[in-house]
Amino acid sequence: MGIPFHQTARIGAYVLKQHLSGRKRYPLVLMLEPLFRCNLACAGCGKIDYPDKILNQRVSYADAMKAIDECGAPVISIAGGEPLLHKEMPEIVRGAIAKKKFVTLCTNALLMEKKLDQYKPSPFFNWSVHLDGDETMHDKSVCQTGVYDKAVAAIKAAKAKGFRVNINTTLFNDADPEKAARFFDTMTEMGIDGITVSPGYAYERAPDQQHFLNRAKTKELFRGIFARGKGGKAWPWFQSPLFLDFLAGNQTYSCTPWGNPTFTVFGWQKPCYLLGEGYAQSFTELMDTTEWDKYGTGNYEKCADCMVHCGFEATAVKDAVKAPWKMLTLAVKGIRTQGPTAPDISLANQRPADFVFSRHVQAKMEEIDTFEKTTGKSFSKVANDRVKPMEAAE
């Protein structure tokens, strides 16, 4: 089991409380994205496709704490960009832990070993290292050689200092089930504490648009992987078994984007981590003004092939509370990898995609320019207002 019992118990109690109170929409994981700047340029990621003045922005410690308090989710997942480029990151992590939040700090690990001493092991904290497979698979995914080796070295160093360390793996349509299974075996043998996996994020601005998985291919791929690992039971998953069962095509789920709300330098992102189709200035505004029913598979063209954890993990967790016998079945039998898949959601009535990226960039640039012309000061919230893209490779 990749999730510690005390974390499972506290999150389960939180979800049960929301369920018994009749609350329809509530957050489970706050996706805190304190910067877009990264020291890699992965072909499948669109996060760095912003002008420099936006890439130079940071969510401050104060704003991060305010977002955590506003949201109230029991889990904080800190992503990016590369969070370790943020000078206030150690303070942000300590502040979240002080609030008794379970904090996952996601990183490509290029800076991790160098910065380990800025963090302390805690039952409320774990690293999540981005690894998209073995050395060949991962270095291809991140478009740079040697990154896999640095990540493995950082994992071993963190484990030696007593940290919990997970890996997060994104798989695309060129993934091989046999190689992916062997990779998970290798990581498990290395002593990794947990694995998070997801099909490739369909970032509309990503340079490589040819390797995102559709739903049929996602189910085929994950059935192939789980079949090689005792129905998935061979590996320490750091996510809901029912979400993994969904990836294998055995559950029919609609996404719950409000379960993983995202806070960025733009504000609260509508409707989810993958789609920036509007921004709110407060969590309450996000929840009250987002037209949730306009999004999700079957409702919106951009969501047609999505089976990503940030949309469906919360759905699976809620289902586990409502139908605990499903979890028991998975614990005993593992994930089913043969036979018919569950019915999928019809796409017949989905609305066409609306491409709004440029409008948000223009609005933010106008905000920055107005501030700088009015005050004569840099808009950047961090003293060093520019982080060189390859700084962490030093």
- Tens of pLDDT, residue by residue over 118-137, are 999 999 999 999 999 999 99
Q: Are 232 and 241 in contact (CB under 8 A)?
A: yes
β-strands 165-171, 194-199: how paired? parallel
Average pLDDT over residues 350-358: 80
The answer as to whether 19 is a domain residue is yes
Residue 237 has φ and ψ, to the nearest 5°, of -70, 140
Q: How far is CA 159 from the centre of its chain?
A: 22
The answer as to whether 345 is a domain residue is yes
The answer as to whether 278 is a domain residue is yes
Please report which confidence band the pLDDT of residue 369 belongs to, taking 50, 70 and 90 as the band edges: confident
Greater model confidence, 378 or 202:
378
pLDDT at position 360 is: 67
The answer as to whether 72 is a domain residue is yes
How many structural domains comprise the chain?
Answer: 1
pLDDT at position 34 is: 97
pLDDT in tens, 251-290: 999 999 999 999 999 999 999 988 888 999 999 999 999 9
Residue 162, domain extent: 5-384
As a residue count, the chain comes to: 394
Alpha carbons 299 and 335: distance in angstroms, whole number: 28
Q: What is the pTM of this model?
A: 0.89
Burial of residue 80 (CB within 10 Å: 0-12, 13-18, 19+) is buried
Alpha carbons 299 and 304: distance in angstroms, whole number: 8
pLDDT at position 200 is: 79
**Residues in CB range of 117: below 8 A, 6 or more apart:** none
Dihedral sign of CA atoms 193, 123, 130, 44 in order: positive
Whether 46 has a pLDDT exceeding 90, the answer reads no
Q: How does the average pLDDT of the chain come out, rounded? A: 90
Q: What is the CATH number for 365?
A: 3.20.20.70
Q: Please, where are the H alpha helices in 131-256?
A: 135-142, 147-160, 177-190, 215-227, 241-247
The 3-state DSSP class for residue 193 equals coil
Whether 389 has a pLDDT exceeding 70, the answer reads no
The answer as to whether 394 is a domain residue is no
DSSP H/E element including 67: helix 61-71
